[in-house]
């Protein structure tokens, strides 16, 4: 038998998290404690050995172990989603005036109301029936379909109903009828009790799988955005309030113990399911129908305990450090733009090198992260320009965006121009930032960081009496690569050159092509980019490009005209003949090339040092 190849072994390897879930499934499958719910006869028919585990990440990946495709009725796991739906549909004022948000300390089916004769919270039966009643009041005969469609959006697929379980619940639901009539007596329910209960029983009989439960939980954890479909299912307000009540009351009279030990907002159902939503992290769904005395899945509880303990997922044990939000903090004195500058421009920028400060940020712009950035900005005198590079920022919280906007307004008062880079105008983060920065006059944005730095440098040059004239015409004697050549040598070299002109956007050199000429930029601007579009440099009149032809026979980058440009082109074969005829000049040119390459390396090393020292 041939040994498996390394590539095959790698392809068959399991991610660590999936291996952990596998171990949990194997270990907890041996747990036979608890019993299947039988107070609803149809639920008693469930196979007690079924056990499925699914975990969904916020980028839409779903891990599955065991019986994750086995359908079971959602039961009380529907409660958080219907509460969120009521908040979105009817508004917080209407819902919160009818249903409380305090833990009851009683079993889920307790026939008891709070001091205002309202349900304690939407996670117990009384509160859930009241929620369904509110939606029935608003939607009438369409209420159930409205609920089913909402739950389907959370799951990312159409969900059906177990009609046998619905009929069984309806036939044995006298306790829920007692709760509903108590609510009707206290004007919590205003519609026909029988009609409301029919919707409630049918809602509890909706069929889901452990995979569905994980995706639904991940949607809660993702501020209402389904990570698989990308749909914004509910508003962040409704989701945040729902998770709050799940935290305090989602696991019935075991809720306090649950949040103390496990620390993840969760909801169980007597069908054997548990879903747990860790905000900004993951969603977990499990199915195992053996229940403990609280009505929670025995294996599901053990799974959640193991996951939380092993990976330290308790939501109150976060270790995010705001200081890690800044990956680099520097001025243009340490890392200027890639644009070549003339002596007068370089002198101005060297004199005012601290006038442009750059923050390269990473991760989530949260309240604490933005606060830390603003305090770092205040550690030195305010610059004239501050650039926030957001290309590595993965998310912006509303609190972070608001604090950022308040910082921008303070900078506006201080006459500091704010420049954003690396943010796509179509992104959710940009929309949040726009919402809070509307009306600011000191705000600019560029997608590329180098473009942002270049723009700020240009403004400094203009402010301090300099000029940037793209129409200037330079001669070979002004080229740094040819510094030190005599008049005679320059005259002989000029005789080999032809002047070429280029339209704006025209490609002059193509990466991968043969290196056959040297170019000395006479007027205009060109940019040098790698094949993947990364800009290496912006060159202005008086600079050389294509000079690597002296070392490499194949072009490694593209060169294109930013605007109308002209250049002296010297064929490489003629240049080599010139070097043989003028050995002193040839040696001088190679020394100049070495100096130019060393300067580029110094700039690159300075950038690496900035990124590794923060």
Q: Which residues of 86-122 are buried (b: 16+ CB within 10 A; e: fewer)?
A: bbbbbeeeebeebbbbebbeeebbbeebeeeebbbbb
* Nearest-angstrom CA–CA distance, 600 and 78: 61
Using DSSP's 3-state secondary structure scheme, residue 439 falls into coil
* pLDDT at residue number 614: 54
pLDDT of residue 10: 44
* Upper half-sphere CA count for residue 113 (Cβ side, 13 Å): 20
Give the single-character DSSP code of 416: P
322-463: CATH, from 3.40.50.2300, 3.30.750.24, 3.40.190.10, 3.40.50.300: 3.30.750.24
For residues 49-61, give the mean pLDDT. 95
Determine the Cα–Cα distance for residues 471 and 566; give it in Å rounded to an integer.
10
**DSSP strand pairing (417-421 vs 385-396):** parallel
CA separation for the pair 471, 154 (Å, rounded):
59
Residue 405 binned pLDDT confidence (cut-offs 50, 70, 90) = confident
Domain with CATH 3.30.750.24 in the chain: 322-463
Encoded tokens for 161: 């109903």
- Of 146-150, 431-435, 520-524, 542-546, which has the strongest mean pLDDT? 146-150
Residue-wise pLDDT tens digits, 442-480: 888 888 898 899 999 999 998 998 777 666 788 888 888
Encode pLDDT of 547-582 as tens digits: 888 888 898 889 999 888 999 999 999 999 998 999
Determine the Cα–Cα distance for residues 421 and 44; give it in Å rounded to an integer. Answer: 59
Strand partners, 517: 571
Region 579-607: mean pLDDT is 81
Q: Report the DSSP beta bridge partners of residue 161.
A: 206
- Give yes or no for a contact between 480 and 491, defined as CB atoms under 8 angstroms apart: no
CA distances from 119 to 42, 97, 608 (A): 28, 11, 60
CATH 3.40.1190.20 is right for the domain spanning 16-311:
no
CB 276 within 8 A of CB 129: no
pLDDT per residue as tens digits for the range 2-30: 444 444 444 456 788 999 999 999 999 99
**Residue 428: predicted pLDDT:** 62
pLDDT at 241: 93
Q: Which of 129-133, 144-148, 286-290, 437-441 has the lowest mean pLDDT?
A: 437-441
Q: What is the pLDDT of residue 105?
A: 63
**Residue percentage of the chain with pLDDT more than 90:** 53
Q: Exposed, middle or buried: residue 420 (CB in 10 Å: 0-12, 13-18, 19+)? A: buried
Give the pLDDT score at 8: 46
Q: Are 268 and 252 in contact (CB under 8 A)?
A: yes
To 10 degrees, what angle do helices 125-139 and 174-185 make? 70
Are 288 and 50 in contact by the 8 Å Cβ rule? The answer is yes
The fourth-level CATH superfamily of domain 476-610 is: Jelly Rolls (2.60.120.10)
Handedness of CA 603, 604, 606, 611 (dihedral sign): positive
Pairing of strands 385-396, 356-365: parallel
| pTM, full prediction | 0.68
Q: What is the mean pLDDT of the chain?
A: 88
* Residue ranges of the chain assigned to CATH 2.60.120.10: 476-610
Query: Using 50, 70 and 90 to split pLDDT, how confident is the model at 606?
Result: low
Q: Which two tokens stand for residue 312?
A: 């330290």
Average pLDDT over residues 145-173: 95
The proportion of the chain whose per-residue pLDDT surpasses 70, expressed as a percent, equals 92
* Structure token digits, residue 567: 């250049």
> Could you give the residue range(s) of every CATH 3.40.710.10 domain in the chain?
16-311
């Amino acid at each position: 038998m041939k040994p498996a190849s390394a590539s095959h072994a790698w392809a068959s390897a399991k991610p660590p998290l999936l291996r952990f879930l596998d171990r949990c499934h194997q270990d907890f499958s041996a747990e036979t404690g608890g019993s299947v719910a039988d107070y609803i006869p149809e639920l008693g028919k469930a196979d007690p050995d079924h056990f499925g585990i699914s975990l969904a990440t916020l980028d839409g990946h779903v891990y599955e172990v065991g019986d994750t495709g086995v359908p079971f009725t959602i039961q009380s796991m529907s409660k958080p989603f219907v509460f969120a739906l009521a908040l979105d549909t009817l508004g917080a004022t209407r819902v919160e005036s009818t249903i409380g948000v305090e833990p009851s300390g009683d079993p889920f089916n307790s026939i008891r109301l709070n001091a205002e004769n309202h349900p304690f919270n939407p996670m117990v039966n009384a509160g859930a029936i009241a929620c369904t009643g509110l939606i029935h009041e608003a939607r009438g005969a369409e209420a159930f379909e409205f609920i089913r469609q909402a739950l389907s959006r959370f799951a990312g697929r159409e969900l059906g109903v177990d009609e046998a379980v619905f009929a069984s619940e309806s036939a044995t639901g006298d306790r829920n009828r007692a709760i509903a009539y108590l609510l009707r007596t206290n004007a919590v329910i205003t519609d026909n009790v029988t009609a409301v209960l029919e919707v409630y029983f049918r809602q509890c009989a909706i069929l889901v799988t452990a995979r569905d439960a994980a995706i639904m939980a991940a949607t809660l954890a993702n501020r209402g955005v389904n990570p698989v479909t990308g749909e914004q299912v509910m508003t962040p307000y409704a989701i945040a309030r729902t998770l709050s009540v799940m935290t305090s009351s989602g696991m019935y009279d075991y809720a306090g113990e649950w949040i103390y030990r496990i620390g993840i907002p969760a909801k169980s159902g007597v069908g054997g399911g548990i879903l747990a939503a860790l905000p900004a992290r993951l969603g977990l769904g499990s199915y195992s129908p053996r229940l403990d005395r609280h009505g929670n899945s025995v294996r599901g509880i053990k799974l959640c305990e193991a996951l939380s303990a092993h990976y330290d997922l308790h939501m109150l044990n976060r270790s995010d450090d705001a200081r890690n939000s800044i990956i680099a903090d520097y001025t243009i004195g340490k890392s200027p733009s890639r644009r070549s500058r003339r002596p007068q421009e370089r002198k101005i920028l060297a004199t005012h090198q601290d006038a442009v400060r750059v923050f390269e940020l990473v991760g989530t712009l949260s309240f604490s992260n933005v606060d830390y950035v603003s305090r770092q900005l205040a550690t030195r005198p305010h610059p004239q320009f501050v650039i926030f590079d957001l290309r590595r920022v993965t998310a912006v919280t509303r609190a972070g965006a608001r604090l950022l906007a308040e910082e921008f307004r303070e900078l506006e008062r201080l006459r500091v121009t704010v420049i954003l880079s690396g943010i796509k105008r179509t992104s959710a983060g940009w929309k949040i930032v726009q919402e809070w920065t509307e009306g600011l006059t000191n705000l600019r944005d560029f997608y590329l960081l180098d473009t942002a730095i270049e723009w700020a440098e240009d403004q400094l040059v203009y402010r301090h009496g300099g000029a940037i004239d793209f129409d200037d015409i330079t001669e070979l004697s002004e080229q740094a690569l040819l510094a030190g050549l005599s008049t005679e040598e320059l005259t002989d070299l000029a005789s080999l050159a032809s002047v070429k002109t280029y339209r704006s956007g025209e490609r002059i050199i193509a990466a991968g092509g043969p290196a056959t000429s040297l170019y000395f930029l006479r007027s205009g601007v060109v940019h040098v980019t790698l094949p993947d579009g990364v800009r290496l440099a912006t060159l202005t009149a008086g600079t050389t490009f294509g000079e690597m032809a002296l070392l490499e026979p194949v072009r490694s980058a593209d060169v294109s005209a930013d605007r109308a440009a002209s250049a002296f082109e010297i064929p490489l074969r003629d240049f080599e003949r010139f070097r043989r005829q003028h050995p002193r000049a040839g040696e001088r040119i190679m020394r100049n090339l070495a100096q130019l390459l060393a300067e580029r390396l110094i700039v690159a090393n300075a950038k690496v040092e900035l990124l590794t020292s923060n």
